[in-house]
Amino acid sequence: MIDLYTFRTNLQPEIKSYSGIPQLIRADQDVKSEDLIYPRITYKMSSPYDINGNAQSMFIKKEVVQSDDPNFDEDIEYSYYSNPRVTISFNAFGKDVSQYISKLIEWFRIPKLGQRFLDQYDVVIINVTNMQDRTTYLQTDYEDRKGFDVVLQFNDEVKIIEKTFEEVELEVEFSDDEDILDVNL
């Protein structure tokens, strides 16, 4: 399974350092308002698994493998491969934040920058959107925001080992008096 927690935890210092943004936090992170500073960037990652239950393409491989149980020679290993996608949405808050968003977009678009980090997690970039004006009206004033989205594709592999019976012995006894078949395993 994909370890999004580790990926997200290790991604944050990479992009914070490259962008130079004073504060980079998860959008769903619980931060007191007095601890929020301008300019800042928030980011939110979608789930890689479709929560609506829609089918996802999956490749299944079945092979006979050496058993780790000394009582058996072989087991069956099922490998399930899929390529779930995650969207990361970045939003910058404050005046003149275009420079920070531009640096993040650059980090994802330039292969010698972000791709080196992403390769460690077997992740490919599917799409990086252009910078968008996401200014929002808050009660009595506008809050300046800029943002963009990145779509990443992960390679996910789950392996299941199924123990096998390699030999079955049957004892069959017929009774002369009755038409009964007695089978012992």
Determine whether 168 is exposed, middle or buried from the number of CB atoms within 10 Å of its CB (0-12, 13-18, 19+).
exposed
Q: What is the mean pLDDT of residues 25-50?
A: 87
Instruction: Tell whether the torsion through CA atoms of 142, 143, 146 and 151 is positive or negative.
Output: negative
Task: Using DSSP, state whether 124 is helix, strand or coil.
Answer: strand
Residue type at 43?
Answer: Y
How sure is the predictor about 61, in pLDDT bands with cuts at 50, 70 and 90?
very high
Q: What is the pLDDT of residue 43?
A: 95
What pLDDT, in 10s, does the model give residues 140-161?
Answer: 766 688 899 999 999 888 899 9
The distance from CA 98 to its chain's CA centroid, rounded to whole angstroms, is 28
Can you tell me whether residue 57 is helix, strand or coil? coil
Cα separation, 179 vs 123, in Å, equals 65
pLDDT tens string 111-122: 899 999 999 999
Average pLDDT over residues 20-39: 91
pLDDT higher than threshold 70 for residue 164: yes
Q: How far apart are CA 14 and CA 23, in angstroms?
A: 13
Query: In this predicted structure, what is the pLDDT of residue 3?
Result: 85
Q: Which domains does the chain have, with CATH numbers?
A: 4-49+84-154 (3.30.70), 51-77+161-185 (no CATH)
pLDDT bucket at 137, cuts 50 / 70 / 90: low
Q: Is the pLDDT of residue 176 over 80?
A: no
Q: What is the pTM of this model?
A: 0.75
For the cut 70, the answer to whether the pLDDT of residue 38 exceeds it is yes
Assigned token pair, 46: 């979608």
* The pLDDT of residue 170 is above 80: no
- Predicted local distance difference test score (pLDDT) of residue 174: 66
